[in-house]
Structure 1
Amino acid sequence: MPTLRNRRLEQLLGGPIDESLTYTQVTGLIPGTAEGPDLDFKRDTYGSRDRDRKALCGDVGGLANANGGLLILGMEEDSQGRAAKAVGVDISDAERLRLHQTVVANVQPTPTFDIIPVEDPDRPGTGFLVVWVARTATAPHAYIQNNALLYPKRIGTQTVWLSEALVAEAYRARFAGLADRIDEAARIERDFTSRLDSRQSWLVATLVPDLPGDFRIDTATLNAFEQDVAGRTISGLDIPLTHFRRAGVRHRRLVGSADCDANRLYLDLSCELHEDGSGSIAACFDARHTRPGHDDGPPPGSRIDDEDLVATIAAALKFLAAHARDRAAAGGLATLRVTIFPVALNLPAYLVHSRGHGFVNALGTHPVWQPPVADAVADIDELATDGRGLLAVTYRLATGLVQEFGCPEALQLTADGNVRRCYWHQQAQTIVMRYAERHGVDVIEDRAG
């Protein structure tokens, strides 16, 4: 379940803003907690009339178009806009569904939000409805009224409707922001790969949050990071890949690595995790090989196993998303980029599939002579959690890479995040099937196409 990450509000409530929120925490805002740009109190829930629908969508859309925040329904405020009394509202599933559907049907694009019921222990079925809304990179969000688009924004403690000029400015900011994040991912990748040992073949993944987080690197942070990663094996779909052995820092980033050579180039596994929640991770596929099936073939190239590619991308995405969400408190969407490094005219990459017992089959129609790249946008919380959401994004990125070799898709997964059994070799099938059972992933027995 996605959650709102807002340090100010978490401090006010004394804990995370998720389904663990208690009645005591919310009533702890009484007396005296004032409304603000990210906090709004409502005595009653929203009704079903047109003006109520507009008010609900305006309040939710207004927060999404600003910096996100909370609407707390069931909290009476005083004349100064401060929490004064818990009056309670209906917190039934039916009421939550009605409010949720109203927003989804009338605000486009749909903001990232949720409605958390917080029950009064003395009055079952009554309590607070805590509506959290995340700031998103897809702003501006519009309320649709009679085929017209109205754009709300919370400014101070009020929701206002934007003028045409401000709407145009918001759209320019959206598209400029996406281009900036794509460029930033490529820049972070270039800087990171300059410290990888080019005698090895790497899968490199980079994540840039649409809404940056923040954390401070100091001695305590480094010690905690070292305890977290030292000896830790990263795995994709529970298939173990390799593990970190050491931790360190560079300017405004944490560094994890399996080893370094004499020139301080990373070997086998490495990551650089930035203070704003962005980061890159690289996992080594293998050393150099001659062309598959030709011991006396052309100069050495990189042999990229499609099954390893899928598992490594899944592991990399989950690792980077956990850093962004849990360490840097970044939320919302992220721009993702994956590539294979190094690839060049004198160092091509070949796509293969290992059938076990030393047998290797070439895949695709041709090698690649420059680094293949795939990118995507996905929800950080979804990436940090095992299951279909993570696997669906893994499929998109892996498919983007293998298509550069002339292969139509990554066959181990499906576009909706399920698993195709027959495209995993025998040794991996048992592990992957257990993963699927634990995380609610369907297993597809038929071959693709």
Structure 2
Amino acid sequence: MRWPRRHGADKVWLSESEIAAAYRRRLMAADDQAARLREVEREAVLTTATTSAQSRWPLPLLVVSLAPDLPGDLLLDAETVRAFTSRTRQEIAMVGGLSSTFEETSVAHRRLIAEAGGNTRMAVRAQLYTDGAGTFAMHPSSVNVANAPAQEDEAESFRVRVLDAEVVDRVASALRYLARHARDQAAVHGSALLRVMLVSDTHLHPDVQPYAVREAAPYTFPGFERYRVALDTPAQGGARPVGTRFSRLAYGESHAHLDDLADDGLSLTRATARLVDDLFQTYGLPQNRQIRQDGTVNEHAWGEHWTSIKRWVSAADIPVAAA
């Protein structure tokens, strides 16, 4: 068995052993990419665990990660940092946002960091690596912790209710931001592996627990390790539960072309829907309510988030689904 391969203006024929080696390299590259994605996500979680606010109640963490199929090579020097700092001061990372997202920038090993909110519940942090990989970590702000011991269903006392609309909003923002770094700064082309993670509290993530001091807060709070995330969705007069399952830790994964993510439009909304749907299925929800699989947006499923989402879809000419 032989297979042709272009070599300049000529064509050479690969032997059977060379074909087998090429397939092995392809499989190893896929494994390396998945490992890279888990590596940068783990770094985001551990960083958040050392800086996140300690609350009497769980503080959920949402992390979106991206690892390109082919790594880039951003030169990290003083000029790169100056340009990054200047750009970040003006950059609106959140879709439909009106003001810059980040307040501070810094450098760590082979990565640039943008963050805001410090050690508060509003903290948001992006870590952008020289190979084009990146993470975007934040605490969902629309959180309702059901903590009334008098409830008939004791399990309901340990539910952390997160608004689905905010998750969709934040995932779309993170995908666009990370893809623009990979494509425009790290000079990466092609596709990327994507991952979203939602945990009921940073300190309940399995990468954090082995190193935790169990006799210190937040582990000393009664029933802390029993908390699980449940999803709510906007409804008239507030929110209502959606989905049938609860989970301490949930993941979603997908694959997309960087151009589809970096440029506003239907390609970004479709990619967002695919990734979020994979996450929400852990909670017994087959798909999200906010963005349909064809990329059109459901204006009635966003609640208070519709104000900013409407600005975004109008500017990007993203279709709004008929009621």
Alignment-derived partner of residue 182 in structure 1: 34
Alignment-derived partner of residue 319 in structure 2: 442
Q: Judging changes above 3 Å, is the alpha-carbon distance between structure 1 residues 361 and 217 closer, same or farther for their aligned structure 2 residues?
A: same
Q: CA-to-partner distance for each residue in 1:213-235, whole Å, 9 max, x for gaps?
A: 11111221111111111264322
Q: Which amino acid aligns with 2:92?
A: T
Aligned-residue identity in percent:
29
Structure 2 SS opposite 1:273: strand
Alignment-derived partner of residue 201 in structure 1: 60
Q: 1:290 touches 1:296 (CA, 8 Å); kept in 2?
A: no
Q: Write out aligned runs for 1:65-144 (5 A).
A: none
Q: 1:291 touches 1:350 (CA, 8 Å); kept in 2?
A: no
Q: Judging changes above 3 Å, is the alpha-carbon distance between structure 1 residues 207 and 246 closer, same or farther for their aligned structure 2 residues?
A: same
Q: Judging changes above 3 Å, is the alpha-carbon distance between structure 1 residues 281 and 351 closer, same or farther for their aligned structure 2 residues?
A: same
1:233 aligns with 2:92: yes
Q: Judging changes above 3 Å, is the alpha-carbon distance between structure 1 residues 288 and 429 closer, same or farther for their aligned structure 2 residues?
A: closer
Q: Judging changes above 3 Å, is the alpha-carbon distance between structure 1 residues 429 and 188 closer, same or farther for their aligned structure 2 residues?
A: closer
Alignment-derived partner of residue 213 in structure 2: none
Alignment-derived partner of residue 126 in structure 2: 271
Alignment-derived partner of residue 335 in structure 1: 193
Q: CA-to-partner distance for each residue in 1:58-112, whole Å, 9 max, x for gaps?
A: xxxxxxxxxxxxxxxxxxxxxxxxxxxxxxxxxxxxxxxxxxxxxxxxxxxxxxx
TM-fit CA distance, 1:431: 4.6
Alignment-derived partner of residue 273 in structure 2: 395
Q: Which amino acid aligns with 1:408?
A: P
Q: Judging changes above 3 Å, is the alpha-carbon distance between structure 1 residues 231 and 259 closer, same or farther for their aligned structure 2 residues?
A: farther
Distance 1:325 1:253 in 2: 15
TM-fit CA distance, 1:434: 4.9
Q: Judging changes above 3 Å, is the alpha-carbon distance between structure 1 residues 399 and 316 closer, same or farther for their aligned structure 2 residues?
A: same
Q: Judging changes above 3 Å, is the alpha-carbon distance between structure 1 residues 231 and 349 closer, same or farther for their aligned structure 2 residues?
A: farther
Distance 1:417 1:325 in 2: 22
Which segments of 5 or more consecutive residues in structure 2 lack a partner in the other structure? 205-224
Higher relative contact order (CA 8 A, sep 6+): 2
More helix, by proportion: 2
Q: 2:37 touches 2:67 (CA, 8 Å); kept in 1?
A: yes
Structure 2 SS opposite 1:304: strand
**Dislocated runs of 4+, deviation >6 Å:** none
Q: Judging changes above 3 Å, is the alpha-carbon distance between structure 1 residues 436 and 351 closer, same or farther for their aligned structure 2 residues?
A: same
Pick the aligned partner of 1:363 from 225, 242, 251: 242
Q: Which amino acid aligns with 2:81?
A: L
Distance 1:320 1:295 in 2: 41
Q: Which amino acid aligns with 1:439?
A: A
Q: Which amino acid aligns with 2:320?
A: V
How many residues align structurally?
290
Distance 2:118 2:184 in 1: 27
Pick the aligned partner of 2:79 from 220, 229, 237: 220
Distance 1:396 1:419 in 2: 14
Alignment-derived partner of residue 259 in structure 2: 381
Q: 2:195 touches 2:251 (CA, 8 Å); kept in 1?
A: yes
Q: CA-to-partner distance for each residue in 1:231-283, whole Å, 9 max, x for gaps?
A: 643223x256982100000011001110433xxx9961101111111011112
Q: Judging changes above 3 Å, is the alpha-carbon distance between structure 1 residues 356 and 224 closer, same or farther for their aligned structure 2 residues?
A: farther
TM-score normalized by the length of structure 1: 0.59
Pick the aligned partner of 1:254 from 92, 100, 112: 112
Distance 2:121 2:241 in 1: 29
Pick the aligned partner of 2:12 from 136, 160, 164: 160
1:283 aligns with 2:138: yes
Q: Which amino acid aligns with 1:185?
A: L
Q: Judging changes above 3 Å, is the alpha-carbon distance between structure 1 residues 395 and 240 closer, same or farther for their aligned structure 2 residues?
A: farther
Pick the aligned partner of 1:421 from 294, 299, 305: 299
Q: CA-to-partner distance for each residue in 1:393-435, whole Å, 9 max, x for gaps?
A: 100111111111111111111112121233232x444554454
Distance 1:285 1:257 in 2: 15
1:349 aligns with 2:208: no
Q: 2:253 touches 2:279 (CA, 8 Å); kept in 1?
A: no
Distance 1:241 1:269 in 2: 14
Structure 2 SS opposite 1:375: strand
Q: CA-to-partner distance for each residue in 1:158-188, whole Å, 9 max, x for gaps?
A: 3323233222222222222112211211121
Distance 1:150 1:309 in 2: 49
Distance 1:295 1:441 in 2: 45
Q: Judging changes above 3 Å, is the alpha-carbon distance between structure 1 residues 400 and 266 closer, same or farther for their aligned structure 2 residues?
A: same
Q: CA-to-partner distance for each residue in 1:287-308, whole Å, 9 max, x for gaps?
A: 864229x685555553321111
Q: 1:257 touches 1:266 (CA, 8 Å); kept in 2?
A: no
RMSD, aligned CA: 2.7
TM-fit CA distance, 1:312: 0.5
Q: CA-to-partner distance for each residue in 1:24-54, whole Å, 9 max, x for gaps?
A: xxxxxxxxxxxxxxxxxxxxxxxxxxxxxxx
Q: Looking at CA atoms only, which structure, 1 or 2, has the larger radius of gyration?
A: 1
Q: Which amino acid aligns with 2:235?
A: R
Alignment-derived partner of residue 168 in structure 2: 310
Alignment-derived partner of residue 221 in structure 2: none
